């Protein structure tokens, strides 16, 4: 199963999105939260994110969703830190909450890494009101 990493400046957001996506998709979904700093402060930590990617990978690769600003920069840096490791990683250009739910459902259904990435990115255009 493709793994998913949730990057947010807030560990509460990352943990909450993980719980929500797992509840909607499957309790077995491989989702790892990488939110906040090691001391719980608001921020992002590329080293923590790289460890989360490693943990989320079960051999089928990992899709990363990041919130605003430095969340994206830290996620990109984390992916570079893993360059020498044999892990397929995609950074999805997607909203974190809706994208994570869509990606988790796709992953739980057996989607491949590109399908999971697309599911996350397509969530961007989802309308909530008619």
The residues assigned a catalytic role are 9
Min separation Cβ 38 and other proteins, Å: 7
CA 28 to chain centre: 15
In terms of CB distance, is 26 or 70 closer to other proteins?
Answer: 70
Helix or strand (DSSP H, E) at 75: helix 70-81
Binder to other proteins among 47, 59, 85, 126 (CB under 8 A)? 47
Instruction: Please report how close the Cβ of residue 62 comes to other proteins at its closest, in angstroms.
Output: 19
74, 7 contact by CB (below 8 A) = yes
Give the full edge-to-edge strand order of the sheet including 31-35: 31-35, 3-8, 62-66, 89-91
70 binds other proteins (CB under 8 A): yes
Indicate whether 53 belongs to the interface with other proteins (CB under 8 A).
no
CB-facing half-sphere around the CA of 52: CA atoms within 13 A: 31
Which residues contact other proteins by CB under 8 A?
A: 37-38, 41-48, 69-70, 73-74, 76-77
């Amino acid at each position: 199963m493709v793994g998913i990493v949730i990057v947010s400046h807030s560990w509460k957001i990352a943990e909450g999105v993980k719980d929500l996506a797992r509840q909607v998709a499957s309790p077995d979904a491989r989702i790892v939260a990488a939110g906040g700093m090691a001391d719980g402060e608001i921020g992002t930590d590329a080293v923590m994110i790289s460890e989360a990617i490693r943990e989320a990978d079960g051999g089928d690769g990992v899709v990363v969703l990041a919130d605003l600003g430095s969340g994206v920069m830290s996620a990109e840096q984390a992916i570079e830190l893993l360059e020498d490791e044999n892990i397929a990683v995609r950074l999805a250009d997607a909203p974190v909450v809706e994208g994570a739910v869509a990606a988790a459902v796709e992953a739980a259904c057996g989607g491949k890494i590109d399908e999971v990435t697309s599911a996350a990115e397509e969530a961007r255009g989802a309308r909530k009101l008619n």
